Structure 1
Amino acid sequence: MKLRYLLAALSVAFAFGMNALTLPRIIGDNMMLQQKSNVLLWGWAKPGSKVKVVTDWNGKSYSVQAAGSGRWDIRVATPEASYETTSFTIEGDGKKIKVRNVLVGEVWFASGQSNMEMPMQGFIGSPVDGSNEAIAASGKLKHALRFSTTPRQLSAVPLDSVGGPWVECTPENAAEFSAIGFYFARRLNEMLDVPVGIINCSYGGTRVEGWMPGEILKQYPEIDLTLAAKPGVMEAFQPMSMYNGMLYPLAGYTVRGFLWNQGESNVGMHDTYHKRLAQMVEHWRKLWDDNSLPFYAVEIPPFCYGDGLDGVSAALLRESQQKSIKLIPNSGMVSSIDLYTPGLWCQIHPSVKQPAADRLAYMAAGRTYGIQGIQYQSPSYKSMEKIDNGAAVMVRFNDAVEGMNPYQGMKGFEVAGEDRKFYPANAEQIFGPYPVVEGVKLSCPEVKNIVAIRYRFKNWPEVGNVYNLRQLPLMPFRTDNW
């Protein structure tokens, strides 16, 4: 298999011309470089030839010798972020390439399936809320935001070159940007006041296994690696195809962190999803040679999925997503359980994209950039205590020190007795001496001895309205293992 990969890599190198200085599409005009870093640049040239990079921001020169395959890699020091554009020159094989209109700022790598891929203009029959207004005003961000969209490309072997060119943020271009990526970048720019770049490497309908390498997947007996990039096979059933064809060629491009919006195609695989996602992230970090890169994910949206509105297949996958965050160091997940249009249970591409992106940006601002005062963690279940001889329970939550919202009329909780039948619960917030919040008391006339509770633990949990005081939604949960 390794020989097969090597031959594929060499064939790509020859295709790009080993006797001529060549750059991948991700390195070129309009690109965004990560600030205050030794960023990776690479390309191809005649084997053994000298390649030199000269940076206009400091006048420094960097040199490297192309390897026997023709590939060269070089690291270049970048300055602090600035809205002033800059440039650099690459020379080799008697050829000189000037890379112009470069911004230095914060770069994030966004990946996943269709809810990350979904552009500002929307999909057919699937709009993005507020997109026209945002696109119309996007020209003001021309020197603040940059985007690179990776073309869909499937491969059975790792490729050397792929990726879309970087483009400026203008009304003409913005409609094609990932909506999650655009809103994340815009909000982060507002908070940091530095340029932000997004590499969107996503493909609709794909499973987590599509973004993992064969060397990991071969340990799973149910995975058939011969299906990778096989004509006529749905993308969801093609292991490693997106990893080989889209992600691997971009590995190492210097970024601040990863954004992930995926999981719908793994519904029904909750027993393995969290473990495989953790393996994927660990491998990505090795590819980028940085085991501390943050990984921030979005939970899957409400939808009918395969077992109907009141089914729990998606709830189980959300639970697995939450488990993955406990397995992955320096990671976090934002909830999207409330981000849907009421009644549109048949729409797996919610139009409500900005709040999810904002929540990712708040998490990045608080956790990665250390901005104080921003709450970014949704409240989550902490503990349950029986009271009133089991006729009620006191439920306590993490990240809700000042209590929950609304003050009264909380909905979405369910309780069950030993018969395992769930009923809607009455919820009452209990306060102790100020500023102590005891928790939320749950009770139900139909259940005399409560043994389990759930909150929005359904595929389409349209009933549910509990938030903390910063309007971050309570994460769905269950206390049972039924």
Structure 2
Amino acid sequence: MVLPRNISVPIFGLGVPGSTVEVEFGVFRAQALVRPEGVWRLKMPPAAAGGPHVLKMRSGGQEVVVRDVMVGDVWLASGQSNMEWPVARSREAADIRKEITPQIRCFKVVQASSSAPEKEIRGNWTVGSKDAVNKWSAVATSFALEVQKTVKVPIGIIQATWGGTKIESWMSQSSMESNPKLRPIVDEYIASLSGYRERLSQWQESVNQWDSANEKKDPGNQGFDKGWGRREFDDSSWSEVALPTPWEQIEGRDVDGAVWYRHHFTLPKVWKGKGIRLELGFVGTDDSSYVNGLKVGATMGRFKPRAYYVGPGVLREGENVIAIRVWNRSGEGGLLGPDIKLTSVDGGASMDLNTTWKSRNEQVFEPPSAEEERRPVRPMGPGDRNAPSGAFHGMIAPLIPYGIKGILWYQGEANVGAAPMYSDLFLAMITDWRARWKEPTLPFFYVQLPGYGKTSQPEKAEWAELREAQESALRLPMTGMAPSIDLGDAETIHPIRKREVGRRLAGFALSRVYRKGTPSFCPTVISAKREAGHIRIVFQDVYGALKTRDGYDLSGLEVLEEDGNWALASAQILRNQLLVSGDVKGVRYLWADNPSGNLVNAVGLPVAPFRILL
């Protein structure tokens, strides 16, 4: 756990109405009365960075003791899957595991969508270690590493992320209702709840029919024939994945077929000569499970939690290997958890297997491309990740007023195609979150979407439009945008280069919050004006002079001509300025879903995409 330093620390929780809660932290002792609604709150005096400390809470003869409490800075990291993307699946995983320190802690908020603000937050703090960090946000962890090694105080990350969520889910209901442009979102959702149960029942019937007609037939266990279940098989070339995680999230696309997972573990001495139980949780859809090459169990169907007995004769001293083949017929596949572990059959210790595994696809089937052939989509309703205000109620509201230093945000992919509304949504969300934390200039640093897709045609520019909408937040004080246009991957919506994204966010924190180090931001446009025979565009954060990354002519720039068409163009580079010749009506740069350009500042950081209409 990490508590905020140098401020009055809010301590809050639930209790029996009318009872008293006593809090002890070092020499501090105080009591709070539990209100009629079942909540209590008090504030501790400011404390300096350091630790470890012990926090004690007592009420009604019960005591809760939290040990190894550090005092430092806490940052909230939120958004959808690219913020959620774990360290284990990032390109820089090995480096992050080497650098992680117990001075960095992470609280992962349990994903939850609620119809009303929750009073209690669900989740757990974990201490930085090479194993624990595998499931943390790669972007947030990279940010924390950069900040901690410079500021040298404990850093806590509160990770409240959920893949596939739209920004509307992260906003309070009042922030949308109070804005005439946004109120229809709430009104339409509330109206849609009429008849929801009937639509849900119809959907379940149709999806059962679809599954029956479309589920893939298993062609046979080809991986077993290749020795993938054997203990001695060399899996060093296999990919590393953090489990439990749906197969589709790992692949970044909808897939069915067969996938294998392998995990090496050392048998504890206390388990020698004893049987153990392999618990997998839920699997999508069918599994065949092996330990040291021997089959210990197999189950068909996704709604049956797996638990297999492994006899003492199967296990060996030293290294053992679990190998699991999952055949996914349709829907969400892979090892879904929520917990994977080995337990002693005599009720003793257990071994947590929610960690890094080796993985390899045996056979992959792409889903149908035609919309009418796809699996029916569940109707929107209570509990849905994209229900307006759902994630806010379940994952953000119960965090308030925990003392945070600032907010990191990486989201927008789910709102591609709705850029005109996104600007209003984004500004309203930032303003509302700051008001709820009672910090009008609470630092808010965010990632601008990377390039994605195989097309670089400007005519198909929904991602470019969303990036432009994201830039609108820079009009608010104490915001910073980290472009990632150069870090994308045409093949996947989840680019695996996360370390640099975290570094760019950390650059804002270090220079603008901590006042340390030399600023190093991506250049953005600060002005553009028409002059005799050309357009002069001025940039900030150049640190010398603009240049092309490869030394060739400038690429990625276009001008809007008199006939209304955009055409490729060149420009003259004058230190922190571009001079674009001609009597043109507009200029844009990197304006496509997955564009290519080469303009950078003196330290090699890319110029952010822009569009200027004159």
TM-score when scaled to structure 2? 0.65
**Judging changes above 3 Å, is the alpha-carbon distance between structure 1 residues 73 and 129 closer, same or farther for their aligned structure 2 residues?**
same
Q: Is the 8 A contact 2:176 2:185 kept in 1?
A: no
- Post-superposition Cα deviations, 1:154-196, rounded to whole Å, max 9, x if no partner, equal 1112111233110001122111000111100001111211111
Offset, 1:108: 0.2
- Listed as ranges, the matches of 1:454-473 within 5 Å are 454-461=588-595, 463-473=596-606
Question: Residue type matched to 1:39 in 2?
Answer: V
Q: Which ranges of structure 1 fall in alignment gaps of 5 or more residues?
A: 1-30, 123-127, 431-436
Q: Is the 8 A contact 2:522 2:601 kept in 1?
A: no
**Judging changes above 3 Å, is the alpha-carbon distance between structure 1 residues 438 and 280 closer, same or farther for their aligned structure 2 residues?**
closer
2:43 corresponds to 1:75: yes
How far apart in 2 are the matches of 1:225 and 1:76?
41
Q: Is the 8 A contact 1:379 1:468 kept in 2?
A: no
Q: Is the 8 A contact 2:109 2:159 kept in 1?
A: yes
How far apart in 1 are the matches of 2:486 and 2:104?
28
Match of 1:98 in 2: 65
2:388 corresponds to 1:239: yes
2:584 corresponds to 1:450: yes
Q: Is the 8 A contact 1:108 1:197 kept in 2?
A: yes
2:406 corresponds to 1:439: no
Match of 1:17 in 2: none
Match of 1:419 in 2: 563
Q: Is the 8 A contact 1:310 1:460 kept in 2?
A: no
Which residue of 528, 531, 541 maps to 1:399? 541
Offset, 1:386: 4.5
- Post-superposition Cα deviations, 1:311-365, rounded to whole Å, max 9, x if no partner, equal 1211111111111221x33212111111124xxx231111111111101100011
How far apart in 1 are the matches of 2:407 and 2:579?
38
Q: Is the 8 A contact 1:305 1:314 kept in 2?
A: no
How far apart in 2 are the matches of 1:45 and 1:280?
31
Match of 1:476 in 2: 609
Question: Residue type matched to 2:525 in 1?
Answer: S
Query: Percent identity at matched positions?
Result: 28
Q: Is the 8 A contact 1:310 1:459 kept in 2?
A: no
Structure having greater relative contact order (Cα 8 Å, sep ≥ 6) = 2
Match of 2:9 in 1: 39
- Post-superposition Cα deviations, 1:44-80, rounded to whole Å, max 9, x if no partner, equal 2222222121112xx1212211111221111112422
Question: Residue type matched to 1:90 in 2?
Answer: M
- Post-superposition Cα deviations, 1:289-323, rounded to whole Å, max 9, x if no partner, equal 22221111111121239997751211111111111
Offset, 1:395: 3.1
**Judging changes above 3 Å, is the alpha-carbon distance between structure 1 residues 297 and 63 closer, same or farther for their aligned structure 2 residues?**
same
Match of 2:239 in 1: none
SS at match of 2:539: strand
Q: Based on CA coordinates, which of the two structures has the bigger radius of gyration?
A: 2
How far apart in 2 are the matches of 1:114 and 1:438?
35
Q: Is the 8 A contact 1:380 1:399 kept in 2?
A: no
Q: Is the 8 A contact 2:546 2:576 kept in 1?
A: no
Which residue of 189, 208, 226 maps to 1:225? 189
SS at match of 2:486: coil
How far apart in 2 are the matches of 1:305 and 1:257?
35
RMSD: 2.4
Match of 1:191 in 2: 150
Match of 1:356 in 2: 501
Question: Residue type matched to 2:516 in 1?
Answer: I
How far apart in 2 are the matches of 1:152 and 1:191?
32
Q: Is the 8 A contact 2:78 2:409 kept in 1?
A: yes
SS at match of 1:171: coil
Offset, 1:152: 1.2
TM-score when scaled to structure 1? 0.82
How far apart in 2 are the matches of 1:194 and 1:471?
30
SS at match of 2:18: coil
**Judging changes above 3 Å, is the alpha-carbon distance between structure 1 residues 133 and 372 closer, same or farther for their aligned structure 2 residues?**
closer
Q: Is the 8 A contact 1:275 1:324 kept in 2?
A: no
**Judging changes above 3 Å, is the alpha-carbon distance between structure 1 residues 98 and 321 closer, same or farther for their aligned structure 2 residues?**
same
Of 161-170 and 232-241, deviating more is 232-241
Would you tell me which structure has more strand in proportion to its own residues? Answer: 2
**Judging changes above 3 Å, is the alpha-carbon distance between structure 1 residues 190 and 464 closer, same or farther for their aligned structure 2 residues?**
same
How far apart in 1 are the matches of 2:457 and 2:42?
52
- Listed as ranges, the matches of 1:193-342 within 5 Å are 193-218=152-177, 220-223=183-186, 224-226=188-190, 232-233=378-379, 235=384, 237-304=386-453, 311-326=460-475, 328-341=476-489
Offset, 1:381: 5.0
Of 273-282 and 352-361, deviating more is 273-282
- Post-superposition Cα deviations, 1:120-161, rounded to whole Å, max 9, x if no partner, equal 123xxxxx11113322x15x502x100011111111121112
Offset, 1:263: 1.0
Q: Is the 8 A contact 1:381 1:477 kept in 2?
A: no
Question: Residue type matched to 2:586 in 1?
Answer: A
Q: Is the 8 A contact 1:307 1:313 kept in 2?
A: no
Question: Residue type matched to 1:196 in 2?
Answer: I
Match of 1:25 in 2: none
SS at match of 2:107: strand
Question: Residue type matched to 1:413 in 2?
Answer: L
2:553 corresponds to 1:409: yes
**Judging changes above 3 Å, is the alpha-carbon distance between structure 1 residues 141 and 222 closer, same or farther for their aligned structure 2 residues?**
closer
How far apart in 2 are the matches of 1:282 and 1:182?
26
2:336 corresponds to 1:369: no
Question: Residue type matched to 2:487 in 1?
Answer: L
- Listed as ranges, the matches of 1:11-26 within 5 Å are none
SS at match of 2:542: coil
Q: Is the 8 A contact 2:76 2:407 kept in 1?
A: yes
**Judging changes above 3 Å, is the alpha-carbon distance between structure 1 residues 171 and 309 closer, same or farther for their aligned structure 2 residues?**
farther
Q: Is the 8 A contact 2:71 2:154 kept in 1?
A: yes
Q: Is the 8 A contact 1:214 1:225 kept in 2?
A: no
- Listed as ranges, the matches of 1:77-226 within 5 Å are 77-82=45-50, 84-122=51-89, 128-135=90-97, 137-138=98-99, 141-142=101-102, 144-218=103-177, 220-223=183-186, 224-226=188-190
Q: Is the 8 A contact 1:113 1:204 kept in 2?
A: yes
SS at match of 1:132: helix
Q: Is the 8 A contact 2:457 2:592 kept in 1?
A: no
Q: Is the 8 A contact 1:45 1:93 kept in 2?
A: no
